[in-house]
Amino acid sequence: MAQLFLASRGHADLGLEALTPADVVAFVTVQCEQRSAAAYVTKGLRAFLRFCHLSGRTPRPLVGAVPRVAGWRLSKLPKAVPPDTVQALLASCDRRTTYGRRDFAVLMLLSRLGLRAGEVAGLHLDDIDWRAGELIIRGKGGKLERLPLPVDVGAAVAAWLQRGRPRCAAREVFTRVRAPHQKLSPGGIGAIVRAACVRAGVVGVHAHRLRHSVATQMLAAGAGLAEIGQVLRHDSLLTTAIYAKVDRDGLRALASPWPVGRGEAQR
C-alpha cells in the first residue's frame, strides 16, 4: 500500500512534507472505488502515515485523516444448511467401515449439538459422562461447559469408540484411523465435512454452517433466542440475535405496510 500511495504522488517519497488530509481522503476514495477490500486499503495507509510522521517525513500526523470503514455488526444472514442436505451428509457415511463410523459421529456432533470444529477436535474421552448423559465442552477461552448428550449422538460416538477408534495414547475422542494414531485437529474435522460434501454431491457446506443449522432448526421448532444462545454457548444475547433475521414469520408481523399513493388507493 505504501508503494501504491507513493506512486500516486508521482515521485517516490517526494512531496510528503506538503501532504494534506484532502490528499489522503482523495487517495482512499479512488482506491476503494477500484478495490473491494476497503479495510485493507485503510489499514495499510494508516501504518504508512504513522511511519512517515514518526520518521519526520511528514510534519504533522495524518493518520486521523484516513476514513474509517463502516463495520455493520450482525449485518449478514446466517447461512444454514437445509435439513435434507444435512441428512444427505450423514447418509454419505458408510457406517459399516471404521472411517464411516468416525465421520458419522463427527457430523452428528456438528449438526445436532452445533459444536465448533475445534470443540469436536478437543473432546476428550473423560469429557463424556455416559451415566448422566452429558458432555463437557471445551469452549472458547478455555471455558468448560456442559451439554446434554442426545441418545442418537451418544450412539454414534459409542459406535466409533467401540468398533473403530484405534488403541493409542491420545485422550481425544477423535483420532486418525491410520498410524500414527494422533488426535484430529480442527482442520481434520473440517476435512471430514468436506469429504462428506464430495460424497453427497453438496457444495459450499463447512463445519460452521452446520452450527447455524442447529440454531435455525431450533428457531423453526419454536425455541427462543435465549434457549438457542444456551445451546450454542454464546457469551452475549446480541450474538444470538442474528438468528432473529431468519424468523420470517416473526419479522413479517413487525413489518409496516407498504405506503400507498393517493392515486393507487383510488383504484
63 touches 46 (CB < 8 A): yes
Contacts of residue 99, Cβ cutoff 8 Å, sequence gap at least 6: 177
- Catalytic: which of 95, 102, 116, 212? 116
Q: Identify the active-site residue in 9, 138, 181, 208.
A: 208
Q: How far apart are CA 249 and CA 254, in angstroms?
A: 9
C-alpha cell recorded at residue 188: 481434520
Half-sphere exposure of 71 (CA within 13 A, CB side): 3
Burial profile 68-104: b = 16 or more Cβ within 10 angstroms, e = fewer: eeeeeeeeeebebbeeebbebbbebbebeebebbbbb
Please pick, among 140, 163, 171, 194, the residue that the annotation labels catalytic: 140
Q: Known catalytic residue: 234?
A: yes
Write down the catalytic residue from 46, 95, 211, 233: 211
CA–CA distance from 85 to each of 164, 194, 230, 256 (Å)? 26, 13, 25, 34
Question: Is 60 an annotated catalytic residue?
Answer: no
| 116 included as an active-site residue | yes
Q: Which residues are the active-site residues?
A: 116, 140, 208, 211, 234, 243
